Amino acid sequence: MKNYSGKNKVKTAIFVSGSGTNLKNLIKFSKKLNSPISINLVISNNLKSKGFLFAKKNKINTVFYSFNNNKNYESLLSKLNKLNIKLICLAGFMKILPKSFIKNFKGKILNIHPSLLPKYKGLNTHERAFKNKEKYVGCTVHFVNSKLDSGKIVIQKKTKLFKKDTISSIKKRVLKLEHKIYPIAIEKILL
């Protein structure tokens, strides 16, 4: 098992767009004594993202980046390199990263997706699973490659879909599972 104490921790950037519960969870995880990562940067395409505001409030280095202009990723890349970022965790990040960007961080970008991939790539996963009367729903942490929600799976966790379930109850239950498995996935790839 590798030792990630103090300065050895893997410098990590979190990309966030929305409420940021996964971001908060990863920040908490990073502060644990034996955690292999430190959160050194938070990037958001949404200035109003609760996750982004939380990171700011907690004095984590934050950068707003619109992700609207696919050509100019130079400044973002140089920021990431300057801080020696070795791992990127997408946590409710709602933009698609361009291939050229992903190439620069090959095998170093993780994403959390609220479905049992390869089922239900893209948006509205719970709605679709619910409509299809799936037996199980769940979430997946996977590496990011150039195809949407298609990179190598690191870990998955499922939960039964009950008759009394609603979209909102599924969302809540799966989100809890997400918070469980994202740190485990990070340990799995780093330890």
Residues known to be catalytic: 113
CB nearer to ligand GRF: pick between 40 and 149: 149
- Dist. CA 87–CA 105, nearest whole Å: 8
Residue 122 near residue 32, CB atoms below 8 Å: no
- Sequence-distant (≥ 6) Cβ neighbours of residue 190 within 8 angstroms: 2, 4, 10, 36, 37, 87
Task: Compose the 41-60 pattern: x for residues touching ligand GRF by CB under 6 A, - for all others.
Answer: ----------x---------
Strands 37-44 and 109-113, bridge-based pairing: unpaired
* Residue 89 engages ligand GRF in binding (rule: CB under 6 A): no
Pick one of 21, 30, 35, 38: the residue that binds ligand GRF (CB under 6 A). Answer: 21
CB nearer to ligand GRF: pick between 4 and 39: 39
* Residue 19 engages ligand GRF in binding (rule: CB under 6 A): yes
- Dist. CA 169–CA 157, nearest whole Å: 16
Pick one of 13, 87, 91, 137: the residue that binds ligand GRF (CB under 6 A). Answer: 91
Residue 171 Cβ, how far from ligand GRF at the closest point, in Å? Answer: 7
